[in-house]
Structure 1
Amino acid sequence: MNNVLEYKGYLGSVEFSAEDQCLCGKVEFINDLILFDGASVEAVQQSFRDAVDRYLESCAERDVQPDQPFKGSFNVRVGGALHRQAAQEARRRGVALNELVIQALRKELHA
């Protein structure tokens, strides 16, 4: 089962609201709040696309950059001991710590 919608690089999650008797959703992985809803699967999909389009239009009208999901960097808090181990391993391999983390993620995610 997949409750994730994708449109123009944005991802939206969808849930059923028993209280409102509709499907409701939120655009994920951005700081701005974008909500959408619909009474059917087709309606919530269209509402999601419309919400993303309105958001992008609003940003253009205000001459601001729209928030983008997955900018390519993120902070990871691993604790001092693991940080030290990773830094030492990166040095042993002759790569930057960032490269070691990228390699580990690719290996773990089979990417």
Structure 2
Amino acid sequence: MGMMRYKGYTGSVEYSEEDNCLFGKVQGLDKGTCILYEGNTVDELKADFEESVDSYLESCRERGVEPKKPYSGKLNLRMTSELHSRVAAFAASTGMTINDFINKAIINELEHDCVI
């Protein structure tokens, strides 16, 4: 699955063999908010994605409501108690909070192993 980005929103790029078209959905919004788009070409898909985001933002502005942001920035992370203990001890030994340590580790991993 591919991804597109526009005005802080990330959208998926998928293909429907049944409908012979491209389609997608804005990622990271709560269950009550859904932004969908489609197209027959990549250019059409991108244009509909951007138009759908713009339409959503305009609709929020007209209604006087704050647009939903993709991803809240809060993440409930599960790990073994042993790993939690090791993370806490290491973070404390370096003067960091657990949150700072985990953020730094994720950033480091993304910079070295991923292309985003």
TM-score higher than 0.5? yes
- RMSD of aligned C-alpha atoms? 1.9
In the alignment, the residues of structure 1 paired with residue 54 and residue 2 of structure 2 have an alpha-carbon distance, to the nearest angstrom, of: 20
For 1:40, the equivalent position in structure 2 comes to: 41
Query: What displacement does 1:71 show?
Result: 4.3
* Deviates further, 16-25 or 70-79: 70-79
Query: What displacement does 1:102 show?
Result: 2.1
In the alignment, the residues of structure 1 paired with residue 2 and residue 111 of structure 2 have an alpha-carbon distance, to the nearest angstrom, of: 23
After superposing on structure 2, the runs of 4+ consecutive aligned residues of structure 1 that deviate more than 6 Å are: none
For 1:21, the equivalent position in structure 2 comes to: 20
**5+ long unaligned stretches in structure 2:** none
Q: Secondary structure at the match of 2:26?
A: strand
* Deviates further, 8-17 or 65-74: 65-74
Query: What displacement does 1:56 show?
Result: 0.6
For 2:11, the equivalent position in structure 1 comes to: 12
In the alignment, the residues of structure 2 paired with residue 43 and residue 103 of structure 1 have an alpha-carbon distance, to the nearest angstrom, of: 38
**5+ long unaligned stretches in structure 1:** none
TM-score, normalised with respect to structure 2 = 0.81
In the alignment, the residues of structure 1 paired with residue 80 and residue 63 of structure 2 have an alpha-carbon distance, to the nearest angstrom, of: 41
TM-score, normalised with respect to structure 1 = 0.85
In the alignment, the residues of structure 2 paired with residue 37 and residue 70 of structure 1 have an alpha-carbon distance, to the nearest angstrom, of: 22
- Deviation per CA, 1:20-56: give whole Å up to 9, x if none: 1211111112222111111222211111111101111
Query: What displacement does 1:67 show?
Result: 1.5
Query: What displacement does 1:70 show?
Result: 4.2
In the alignment, the residues of structure 2 paired with residue 5 and residue 108 of structure 1 have an alpha-carbon distance, to the nearest angstrom, of: 21
Give the partner amino acid of 1:27.
Answer: V
Equivalent pairs, count = 110
% identical aligned pairs:
41
For 2:86, the equivalent position in structure 1 comes to: 85
State yes or no: 1:101 paired with 2:98. no
